[in-house]
Structure 1
Amino acid sequence: MKNILFILITLFFFSLPAFAQDNELKVDIIKQDSVLLKPYKMDPLAPARAAFYSGLVPGLGQIYNKRYWKAPIAWGGMGLSIYYYSWNNKKYHEYRDAYKDKLAGRPVTGTLSELNGDRLIRGQKFYQRNRDLSMFFTIGIYLLNIVDANVDAHLKQFNVNENLSLLPSVQQNQIDYKYNLGLTLNYKF
């Protein structure tokens, strides 16, 4: 009798880990089957990294966010504003040098030779103003590029799935049986 009791107790203790492993496997299978959505991964440094890349090279943050169509827009905006800055700066110096030559009594050559001193001053002011505006637009597009990369990286991490929905709905009024339009917001836990 003691041998049978000893064998039963021994079998009981050896079978406990097998039951525990079996229960754990069932729990894992249930967890895997109950989750139908992709796992949600969030990188808290992605917005800062995208902004840093856009700060280094305009458009690189948009490429990091995989918004490839935005990079040529950033490059075009920066290139165009830099081009207008350099063109207006060249014209400003051309008018300024012609005005200095006229004041010094040296002959002015080229297309500016028939302009008087007052028109040369107005030309300087015009091109200087446009040059400064071009620099302002260059800095603005550069900063907008950085902000766009940062905001886009933040919005990529926004969790939108089947548990959160905003749908239009049509409901019939119980009093006068007219149809009412509305929006329903559903949030499932």
Structure 2
Amino acid sequence: MFKWCVYSIIFLSSFATIYAQEVPSDLKVTKIDTTFIADEINILAPSKAAFYSAVLPGLGQIYNKKYWKAPIVWGAVGTGVYFYVDNNNKYNRYREAFKAELAGREHEFDGTGDNVELTQTSLQTAQTFYKKNRDLSLFITIGLYILNIIEANVDAHLPDNALNTNISFNPTIFTMPTTNQTGFGATISFNF
């Protein structure tokens, strides 16, 4: 058996002939200068951008020279703060009215004059509703604040000239080896 394997390898390798490429005489080969001149990279830029965004939202985006992102950050964080303050004010109104109702004093929602009359249960329900919205607004605002810091840091890590914009998308049709069924897939390549 061993002899048969050796003879097969010798027989098959005798057919493998290697030819070198011949360079035409009219082709001139010149040496290409491959030295890479890199811009000076500031390794502290990501931490500076994150620090500036932590101090004042949007400042890290300005530091990264992405001026158009700063108003988006200000609008997002400002909207969250607005809803927090609005819900907190409404919560305090209904809370004060609920406490006054329990004490038997007059309040904003007792039905006297032009005021709307709300029951003790309605005041408690409104108080719970606005407290829940206030807390949700706070969490969303904190999330947007943290997202602002992360975005500034990541944007400083990935300068525009370091990315290759050659993005490719290749849809393919293949057969699943286990089920012998046709499947569809896609490959997305992003080089940087």
Tell me if both proteins adopt one fold, taking TM over 0.5 as the criterion. Answer: yes
Structure 1 CA distance for aligned equivalents of residues 33 and 143 of structure 2: 49
Q: In structure 2, do the counterparts of structure 1 residues 101 and 152 end up closer, same or farther at CA, with 3 Å as the change threshold?
A: same
1:108 paired residue number: 107
Deviations 1:120-158 (A, max 9, x none): 000000000000011101100100000000000001177
TM-score using structure 2 length: 0.63
- 5+ residue gaps, structure 1: 1-32, 170-181
Q: Amino acid of the residue matched to residue 132 of structure 1?
A: D
> Which structure 2 residue ranges, 5 or more long, are not aligned?
1-31, 171-186
Matching of residues 69-148 of structure 1 within 5 Å: 69-109=68-108, 113-148=116-151
Q: Is the 8 Å Cα contact of residues 58 and 74 (structure 1) preserved in structure 2?
A: yes
Find the counterpart in structure 2 of residue 61 from structure 1: 60
State whether residues 81 and 135 of structure 1, in contact with CA within 8 Å, keep that contact through their aligned partners in structure 2: yes
Tell me what 2:177 maps to: none
The total of aligned residue pairs comes to 141
Residue in 2 aligned with 1:17? none
Q: Deviations over 1:81-120 (max 9, x none)?
A: 1111011000001000001111111122357640000010
**Alpha-carbon distance in 2 for matches of 1:159, 1:109:** 61
- Code of the residue aligned with 2:71 in structure 1: it is P
Question: Which protein is richer in helix relative to its size?
Answer: 1
Tell me, in whole angstroms, the C-alpha distance in 1 between the residues paired with 2:115 and 2:64: 50
Q: Which amino acid aligns with 1:70?
A: K
In structure 2, relative to structure 1, the CA distance for the partners of 1:55 and 1:166 (3 Å cut) is closer
2:153 is the alignment partner of 1:150: yes
Report the Cα distance in structure 1 between the residues aligned to 2:40 and 2:115, rounded to whole angstroms: 64
State the distance in 2 between where 1:108 and 1:90 align. Answer: 16
| Range 101-110 or range 89-98, more displaced | 101-110
Q: TM-score, normalised by structure 1?
A: 0.64
Specify the code of the residue in structure 2 equivalent to 1:124.
Q
Aligned to 2:38: 39
CA RMSD of aligned residues (A): 3.2
Task: Give the ranges of 4+ consecutive aligned residues of structure 1 lying more than 4 Å apart after TM superposition.
Answer: 35-38, 110-113, 164-169, 182-186
The separation in 2 between residues aligned to 1:63 and 1:145, in whole angstroms, is 12
